[in-house]
Chain A
Amino acid sequence: MYDKIFPPKKMVLPSGKVVLEKRSRTPLILLILIAATVLSVNFTGFSLPLLFTRIDKFFSLIGDMIPPKWSYMSALWNALFATLQMSLLGSVVGAVLAVPFAVLASSNIIRNKTVVAVFKIILSLLRTLPTLVTALIATFIFGLGPMAGVVAILLFTLSYVGKLLYEQIENAEMGSFEAMEAAGMTRVQAFRYAIMPQVFPGYLSTSLFCFEGNVRYAAILGYVGAGGVGLLINENLGWRDYPRVGMIILALIVTVYLIEAVSEHFRKRLI
């Protein structure tokens, strides 16, 4: 289509052969990007002057958080632990549940096309639902508190790990699987000895990575009443008690950093 409107440049080589050089698509892409940017600016009311005149407010707010109120830490432990418990429980259960889902969604293991399609659709639908929305729905069913957060994190982990795992299973080398089947093993046995060793390190690594992210998610779930430090952040911002907010954020940063360091250590060993 594009080539018809802007015909390719013709070049005649010394040998008399004609070569066509396609026109660059960069101008078109740039044009689309610029148009999209202008449209978005109109839609969102983005204005640089406003940003430049008010941005000092942002830094003064950040400045108010420093130094953090250290004494608030003692009131923080419970919420911080609840956040960690929520994310750990949700991640572990979600990652374990992801295995059967992923196996059932792999087209090279399950021959029934309908089953594969159904499980793939379930996984991608779960993945698109924002965690906060699932958490809010969960609070209606499980009541306010960390339990709702666990359910939301569980569902997200299930969908995320499930998707990456079935992609790994589908990309696994099938030669040994077929050989084992031919040698008389059942499909389950062949899966255990041919596919599992291939995907297991990757699976553990994705689960750990997901756990890292979940700690960060768990920190905001409190906003909808699902327990953890999110509730405290919201409360203290509402009261404009910025030193306390600073303390919460500092505690969060340290926790997340520690967990990332530990998880990175193990993920490097796995690969």
Chain B
Amino acid sequence: MTEVEKQLHASPRNYRYIAVVTLLVLVLFGWSLLVVNFRDVNAGGFKIALNILKGIVTPDPDLLFNVTKQSVLYLLAETVAIAFLGTIVGAVLSVPLAFLAASNLVPKPVSWLTRLLLIVIRTIPALVYGLIFIRVSGLGPFAGVLTIGLTSIGMLAKLYVDAIEELDTKVLESMTSIGCTTFEKIRYGIFPQLLSIFLSVTIYRFDMNMREASILGLVGAGGIGAPLIFAMNSYKWHQVGSLLIGLVVLILIIELISNKLRAKLVKG
């Protein structure tokens, strides 16, 4: 046995642990196979699938390019507006919550309670908030804004907390030593450290909110979702095609811009 082989065999192995975990996953996987059934799959299904594909590749050009209130462009603008405003509402609400949840700033019980609240907010599906908010503000995009705002808090506050807990306190110490006031310390010591991360996280969330906003229409909370679902349920695949194409292009463009902006923010 050469030196290299000895070293190779000497490396720690945890086969048993890996085997147990693999077995567990396999058992769970087998259990979940129970939901598989192809009972309802028949030739009709494939015909529908073909129709859907045909509709999506031959979109309804009229719907795509006119400028009335039912047009794709108007609906997309409304969706972006919902996502944008929702993100802003969420970001504004997240900042105080994040400071309350940062374990290096507030006492343990307070930060623990705030974290619990954040977990609860994060777990409830957006559609449930949507259904509750349409009873608050009535049907329409306003309910969508509130829903997006509330769902954003869960993730935004969590990532803000990470940024706050990783604050470089050495900067503050050196500022104290040269005689800065508290305000100056916050303005020049803390603010620059947090701003770029907060902005980057918020832009990322806006990107995600675009997707959320596009399905909220399902519960009547505005945006492109409702016309999309109506068109699908009435088998108007050409309309579905134009709505989907508009949505996909818009989401891709926003993703591109958001990636560029975030790269710029991180590099400074």
Chain A residues engaging chain B, CB cutoff 8 angstroms: 36-37, 39-41, 43-47, 50-51, 54-55, 57-58, 61-62, 82, 84-86, 88-89, 92, 124-125, 128-133, 136-137, 140-147, 150, 216-217, 219-220, 223-224, 227, 230, 233-234, 237, 245, 249, 252-253, 256-257, 266
Contact = CB atoms under 8 A, between A and B. Distances in A.
Given A58-B133, A130-B247, 13 more contacts: A40-B81, A43-B81, A44-B222, A89-B32, A128-B247, A136-B229, A141-B48, A142-B40, A220-B127, A223-B218, A223-B219, A224-B218, A249-B128
B40 A145 contact: yes
B33 interface: yes
A232 B33 CA distance: 22
B120 interface: yes
* A contacts with B: majority SS: helix
B52 A137 contact: yes
Contacts of B137: 50-51, 54
A141 B45 contact: yes
Given A46-B142, A125-B248, A128-B247, A40 B135 contact: no
Could you say which interface size class chain B belongs to? Answer: 35 or more
B29 A58 contact: no
B218 A141 contact: no
B164 interface: no
Contact of A252 (B29, B35, B124): B124
Given A150-B36, A220-B125, A89 B142 contact: no
Contacts of B136: 54-55, 57-58, 61
A93 to B, nearest CB: 9
B60 interface: no
Interface of B, secondary structure class, is helix
A44 B141 contact: yes
In the A-B complex, the 8 residue pairs with the closest CB atoms = A143-B40, A43-B81, A40-B81, A44-B141, A85-B32, A89-B32, A88-B32, A146-B35
Interface of B: 21, 25, 28-29, 31-41, 45-46, 48-49, 52, 77-78, 80-82, 84-85, 88, 119-120, 123-128, 131-133, 135-137, 140-142, 144-146, 211, 214-215, 218-219, 222, 225, 228-229, 232, 244, 247-248, 251-252, 255
A1 B222 CA distance: 38
B112 to A, nearest CB: 14
A129 B88 CA distance: 24
Contacts of B81: 39-40, 43-44
Contacts of A61: 132, 135-136
15 contacts: A57-B136, A85-B35, A86-B35, A89-B33, A128-B252, A132-B215, A133-B232, A140-B45, A142-B40, A143-B39, A147-B35, A217-B125, A220-B125, A230-B125, A253-B124
